Amino acid sequence: MSSNLLPTGHEPIHQLDMTGIVKRFPGVLAADRIDFDVKSGEIHALLGENGAGKSTLMKMLYGLYHPDAGAIRINGEETTIRNPQDAIQHGIGMIHQHFMLVPSLTVAENIALGMKSSRGLRLDLDVVSKRVVELSEIYNLKVDPDYPIWQLAVGEQQRVEILRALYKGAALLILDEPTAVLTPQEVDGLFNILNQLADDGHALVFISHKLHEVLEISHRVTVLRDGRRVNSIPTSEATRPKLAEMMVGRPVLLEYDKNPAEVKDERLILSGVSAFSNRGTVGLDNVSLRLRGGEIVGVAGVSGNGQQELAQCIAGLRETTAGQVIVDGSDVTNAQPSALNAIGLSYIPEERMIDGVIKEFTVAENYVLQDHGHPKFTRGKIFMLFNKIRDACRQAIEAFEIKTPSTETLVKSLSGGNIQKLVLARELSRDPGVLIAAQPTRGVDIGATEYIHQRLLYERDKGTAILLISEDLDEIRALSDRIAVMYEGQIVGEVENVDVDVEQLGLLMTGGGRVA
């Protein structure tokens, strides 16, 4: 068998089977008799919407949850995985969507965490560092063990996660939405690593909801929907429409027929806008942008390069330290959100659960968060007319296809997609001239995403100027008329959205396109 060992010196997992896995959470059947298997040398994609049960299933494999029924077999032997330590001992590693790293600790300290030290109670960071360097050479994963995590780029942090799993002897790696935070170049780098790991005999589970990635990287794909397995097919037999239909349960529009943009007058003008970030560093640096009615301008960029600050400056939630914001001809630099609402600016915030809704409030209350003082909803601007509010909300629920038991349901019990539709309904109820949409479909299922996208296009055709801020390049390319790329608080490039080169965008996003 020794010739079959992994490069780390550990035994491979030739075959892992999960059969009839059931998991109940209060009120939800999160996994309903799911079968899943993965082999050594294989990249098996697990595809599904948010809440389909992908992460739940894999968390059971990693010992974070315990199945209510069903069996896990490793190389044919039935195994109980009580906790992550058990999983690690059985050669199972997991790369979480939100990296499980401690920012203030170094790479070596993060890897040593939770492991036995060769010196008993004392840490043996020098020993760990040496092994890390060895492994990073074997797998071509360059990482400096003495660097603190917070100083590393996201892609590097992910490499640390992978290295740590390998260090602990992972023969099977579970990757939970590993590309969500990466630039296109970093995704290419990750895919190279994954292919190498598979070639070396590791078994890989690739969790994703992005169709093209699944098609590109996996050998086999299993689709989950509402806690059930829809099917498992070889990737060679899969197509995008076929997978999308399996995910959603009905045919889905993946590309939109866009009318040519009928641009009108300039509605939003930013000139030389600057602002600080939360950390007090430069957040926005002299940003200028012009939007006309009837067009969508996409803002692409890696998370944390000023997109949030940009949206907040326009929406009146962050102090603009220099420059001007003009909406429909009026200077609204540092205006209050209520004044901005009155002038026809709407804002779909990035953090919808924090800035978009009050989750302990009902659907109707959230619907009138801004307009509760409006004459049509009050008597004498003091007493709220709840019947009128409920009626208006009911109409919005119907118009925007929001799935909620009633107008009096608490927002926190709705799904992400329905909450986002509610925010959209509220923001569009004022018939805005300018709409700022920040990450409008992040964490939203394909069905709702399709709806939101078409609604944005409809608003555009009506003459609204839309600023679409997104980290999802596919979304930007599908909807935008023009694309602006942000890097380190600046707009480093602006292109018409015709035959855009993704490589070129990726380069701009990482500062590569900036003229020195």
Partner 1 sequence: MGMEEIFTASVFASAIRLATPYIFAALGETFAQRSGVLNLGVDGIMLMGAFSGFYAVYVAQQAETMSEPVSLLFGVVVALIVGGLMGLAMAFVSVTLKAKQGISGIGVFLFGFGLSELLFQQWVGTPKSIQGFHRIDFPILTDLPIVGEIFFHHNLLVYVAFALVPVSAFVLNRTTFGLMIRAVGQNPEAADAMGVSVARVRYATTIIGGIMAGLAGASLSIALIKLFQQNLTAGQGFIAVALVYFGGWRPWAVAAGAMLFSFVNALQLQIKVIDAAIPSEFAVMAPYVITIIALIFASKRQEQPTALTKPYERGE
Q: State the nearest-atom distance from the C-beta of 59 to partner 1, in Å.
A: 7
Is 66 or 403 the residue whose CB approaches partner 1 more closely?
66
Q: Exposed (0-12), middle (13-18) or buried (19+): which is 137, by Cβ within 10 Å?
A: exposed
Which residue in 22, 29, 105, 133 binds partner 1 (CB under 8 A)?
105
Handedness of CA 186, 190, 196, 200 (dihedral sign): positive
Q: Which residue in the block uniquely carries the two structure tokens 């005999």?
A: 201
Please write down the HEC assignment for all residues of 302-370. Answer: CCCCCHHHHHHHHCCCCCCCEEEEEECCEECCCCCHHHHHHHCEEEECCCHHHHHCCCCCEHHHHHCCC
Q: Three-class SS of residue 170?
A: coil
Which residues neighbour 501 within 8 Å (Cβ) at sequence distance 6 or greater?
none
Please tell me the number of Cα atoms within 13 Å of 292 on its side-chain side: 10
How many other CB atoms are there within 10 angstroms of residue 242's CB atom?
15
How far apart are alpha carbons 278 and 284 in whole angstroms?
11
Q: Is 121 in the site for partner 1 (CB under 8 A)?
A: yes
Asked if 151 is part of the footprint of partner 1 (rule: CB under 8 A), the reply reads no
Between 59 and 209, CB nearer to partner 1: 59
Q: Among residues 114 and 329, whose Cβ is nearest to partner 1? A: 114
- Under the criterion CB under 8 A, does residue 110 sit at the interface with partner 1? yes
Q: Which residues 41-100 are close enough to bind partner 1 by CB under 8 A?
A: 59, 64-65, 83-85, 88, 94, 96, 98-100
Binding mask 122-141 for partner 1 (x = CB under 8 A): xx------------------
Q: Does 101 bind partner 1 (CB under 8 A)?
A: yes
Size of residue set near partner 1 by CB under 8 A: 30
| CA–CA gap between residue 376 and residue 5 (Å, rounded) | 73
**Residue 386 engages partner 1 in binding (rule: CB under 8 A):** no
Instruction: Using DSSP, state whether 387 is helix, strand or coil.
Output: helix
CB of 305 to partner 1, least distance (A): 23
Q: Shortest gap between Cβ of 64 and partner 1 (angstroms)? A: 7
Selected from 7, 148, 463, 512, the binder of partner 1 by CB under 8 A is 148
- Which CB, 148 or 155, lies closer to partner 1? 148
Separation between Cα atoms, residue 144 and residue 150, nearest integer Å: 13
Least Cα distance to 285 among 465, 29, 496, 511 occurs for 511
Q: From the CB of 241, what's the least distance to partner 1, in Å?
A: 34
Distance CA 215, CA 353 (A): 32
Pick 86 or 200: Cβ nearer partner 1: 86
Q: How far is the CB of 270 from partner 1 (least distance, A)?
A: 31
Q: Does 158 bind partner 1 (CB under 8 A)?
A: no
Nearer to partner 1, 65 or 451 (CB): 65
- x/- mask, partner 1, residues 231-270, rule CB under 8 A, reads ----------------------------------------
Minimum separation from the CB atom of position 93 to partner 1 (A)? 10
Question: Shortest distance, CB of residue 353 to partner 1, whole angstroms?
Answer: 11
Alpha carbon distance 199, 507 (integer Å): 29
When the beta carbons of 41 and 84 are compared against partner 1, the nearer one is 84
Q: How far is the CB of 263 from partner 1 (least distance, A)?
A: 44
**Enclosing H/E stretch for 231:** strand 228-234
> Which segment (39-47, 103-111, 337-345, 408-416) binds partner 1 by CB under 8 A?
103-111
Closest by CA position to 482, among listed 501, 498, 497: 497
When the beta carbons of 54 and 96 are compared against partner 1, the nearer one is 96
Among 57, 112, 327, 434, binds partner 1 (CB under 8 A): 112
Out of 5, 20, 71, 117, the residue judged to bind partner 1 by CB under 8 A:
117
**Residues in contact with 377: Cβ distance below 8 Å, sequence separation at least 6, in sequence order:** 368, 371, 384, 385, 388, 389, 392
- Cβ-based nearer residue to partner 1, 84 or 511: 84
Which residues have a Cβ under 8 Å from the Cβ of 178 and sit 6 or more positions away?
A: 95, 97, 158, 190, 206, 207
In the complex with partner 1, the residue whose CB is nearer, 88 or 483, is 88
- DSSP line for 424-442: HHHHHTT--SEEEEESTTT
Q: Which of 102, 322, 339, 369 binds partner 1 (CB under 8 A)?
A: 102
460 binds partner 1 (CB under 8 A): no
Return the number of the residue (72 or 112) whose C-beta is nearest partner 1. 112
Q: Which is nearer to partner 1, 112 or 315 (CB)?
A: 112
- Least CB distance to partner 1 at residue 479 (A): 31
Q: Residues 6 or more apart from 237 whose CB is under 8 A from it?
A: none
- CB nearer to partner 1: pick between 98 and 250: 98
160: amino acid identity, one letter: V
17 Cβ contact partners less than 8 Å away, ≥ 6 residues apart: 35, 36, 37, 71, 72, 73
CB of 116 to partner 1, least distance (A): 8
Interacting residues with partner 1 (CB under 8 A): 59, 64-65, 83-85, 88, 94, 96, 98-105, 109-110, 112-117, 121-123, 148, 150
